Amino acid sequence: MSVLANGTLIDNRYTVRGRIGSGGMADVYLCDDQHLGRPVALKVMHERFAADQSFVTRFEREAQAAAGLQHKNVVNVFDRGKVGETYYIAMEYLPGRTLKDVVNAMGALDPKLAIHITLQILAAERFAHAKGIVHRDIKPQNVMIDDEWNVKVTDFGIAHNPVDGDLTQTGQMVGTAQYISPEQAQGKPVANTSDLYSTGVVLFEMLTGKVPFDGESSVAIALQHINQPPPRPTAVNPAVPPVLDGVVMKAMAKSPVERYANADEFSQALERARDNLGAPAGKTEMRGAVAATPTAAKDNRKRNWLIAGGILAALLIAAAAYFLLVGNKQVVPNVVGRAAGDAQSRIAEAGFKSQVFSQTNKAPVGEVISQSPAGGKKAKKGSTVILNVSSGPGEVSMPDVEGLSQSAATKQLEALGLTVKVTQEFDSDIAKGKCTRTVPGVGEKAQKGSEVELYVSKGAKQVVVPDVVGQDIDAATKELEDAGFEVSSVEEDSEKPENEVTKQSPSAGAKADDGSKIKLTVATGQNTVPDVIGLAKSDAVGQLEAAGFKVKTTTTDVTDEADDGNVVSQDPTEGTADVGSTVTLEIGKFVDDGTTP
């Protein structure tokens, strides 16, 4: 299946807003949930995998596994289904940035911030591991960070439940090369400690700004994970507190049994390290020196000089540390609400760098909506301040609401963040009270918060029927069609000339639906010739003329006085004849032949 077009409606529920990510197994789309009125991330499996039952099983397992992981540090999974010939999972949409974005923007993070983030990753792993789920792809790209430095772990696309068996073939590497454990690199079965190794790699990258192993190919990097010891973080970034070296090196031990046994143990080690970050260098050694027992006065004097020197060194080191960690910090200016360009200038003037991230928001386009660190907080001079800048409220694709009730359509449009203006219009095809269209139209884009026009049918327009009786059929048809009607006709014999309209239904002056049909009766131009033999001349002529015929009369002698003045013969005598043709009548004239008494 090709990339889903914006505006595509999936399962009559999810309207595609755009593709926001793509991986080896699936594409991810930002969609609007029309039922619940919220944005969701729709993960759609690549169609080439849909025919492989093992991939489908893995994909379905992801949905089942992730749906059971309801935890504040794990992305929520809402729904799953089928689109075309492939499958999708509907997940919580997280508009923040990835941990990878943060490291790329800021470089090495403050150790306490790195610990704060790692503890949340481990909290997610602890919860998943308790459910029998191993993530198998822990990496900064799968860690979302919000403005308050809260963490959510995403993408259980290759999550594994050891109870179900491993779908990965022996020797097949699953995961991302820079972050996989040695056992993953060798295609061996994974366990909870594999996630802990990957978390150690992520912590290394946060502390140093670099990954411990890198190379030109995934295979080359995987071999380093298997064969080479990782560098200590302090060897890459001397500013890393040495106490964190041991934590990272234990997490990244080659053998799983040499690592932390579980996420709790890893977390406890980090918390201890965090508690010791404030201790000045040399403090432990100084205590040891004070605790030594003198054996001679000379030794005592020497020891006292050593102690004094140690105290002086400790004070100098503490002062240097204070300057580096505290004294070199500046107050971050508050730039929320300012234009991005102005905000960056103010940040630069205060001695900081800045990194801008766009985010949909109802604030005006280009306005800073949040910053990290927050305004008024202190941060190291020269460090990076992250600015989240409004890209506007965002666009939505207009849904098809034709045929819906006004209330249902309004609810659907308002759920997309739109304001609705209702306009009524006549429509002969759509029932009264049902929606006919929107402006903008179906599939077109509208800004969230903008007003859209919803048109609702008033039913068919009522139109007064014109009087077309007596008109020629062509003229009558044109007049009716110009008035918005359709026309049908039937022929009928009558006294009227050929093609003249003799009747109409509905009748003239009545009201009928715009677009409805008017039935016309049209004269054929022929009529039945009345039988008038025996009638008085005046009566016979009257009937024939009323039937549309002309009359010619002649007289003929009759000997029966009763026939005097009456029609004694006619031509034609029966059947039909053209209207306007002549009927000849013979009128009797009494002649007494002497036989009359």
CA distance 143 to 122: 11
Q: What does the pLDDT read at residue 284? A: 30
Q: Which fold has domain 9-92?
A: Phosphorylase Kinase; domain 1 (3.30.200)
List of residues 6+ apart from 44 with CB closer than 8 A: 1, 4, 26, 27, 28, 29, 83, 86, 87, 88
Model pTM greater than 0.75?
no
CA distance 526 to 496: 8
Label residues 554-566 b or e (16+ Cβ within 10 Å = b).
eeeebeeeebbbb
Task: Please give the structure tokens belonging to residue 38.
Answer: 């919220």
Closest CA to 357 of 142, 589, 144, 166: 144
Residues in the chain: 597
Q: Are 99 and 140 in contact (CB under 8 A)?
A: yes
CATH number for the 97-275 domain, one of 3.40.50.410, 3.80.30.20, 1.10.510.10, 3.90.1150.10? Answer: 1.10.510.10
Q: Which fold has domain 329-390?
A: Trypsin Inhibitor V; Chain A (3.30.10)
Q: What does the pLDDT read at residue 294? A: 36
* CATH code given to domain 462-524: 3.30.10.20
Q: What does the pLDDT read at residue 472? A: 94
How does pLDDT run along the chain (597 residues), one tens digit per residue? 567 888 889 988 999 988 877 766 778 889 999 888 889 989 888 877 777 777 777 667 666 766 667 788 998 888 888 888 788 888 888 877 889 989 988 889 999 999 999 999 999 999 989 888 888 889 998 899 887 788 999 876 444 433 333 333 333 444 578 999 999 888 888 899 999 999 999 999 999 999 999 988 888 888 899 999 999 999 999 999 999 999 999 999 999 999 999 999 999 999 999 988 854 333 333 233 223 333 344 454 454 445 445 545 544 544 444 444 445 688 999 999 998 888 988 998 999 888 777 677 788 888 998 888 889 998 888 888 888 888 777 788 899 999 999 999 999 999 888 999 999 999 888 999 999 999 999 888 888 888 999 999 998 888 999 999 999 999 999 999 999 899 999 999 999 999 999 999 999 999 998 889 999 999 999 999 999 999 999 999 999 999 999 999 999 999 988 999 999 999 998 889 999 999 999 999 999 877 666
Give me the helices (H) in 431-582, please: 473-482, 537-546
CB atoms within 10 A of CB 54: 11
Q: What does the pLDDT read at residue 300? A: 46
* CATH code given to domain 395-457: 3.30.10.20
Q: What does the pLDDT read at residue 322? A: 47
Task: Please give the structure tokens belonging to residue 411.
Answer: 């609810």
Question: Which residue out of 27, 33, 79, 137 is catalytically annotated?
Answer: 137
137 catalytically annotated:
yes
CA distance 275 to 265: 16
* CATH code given to domain 527-590: 3.30.10.20
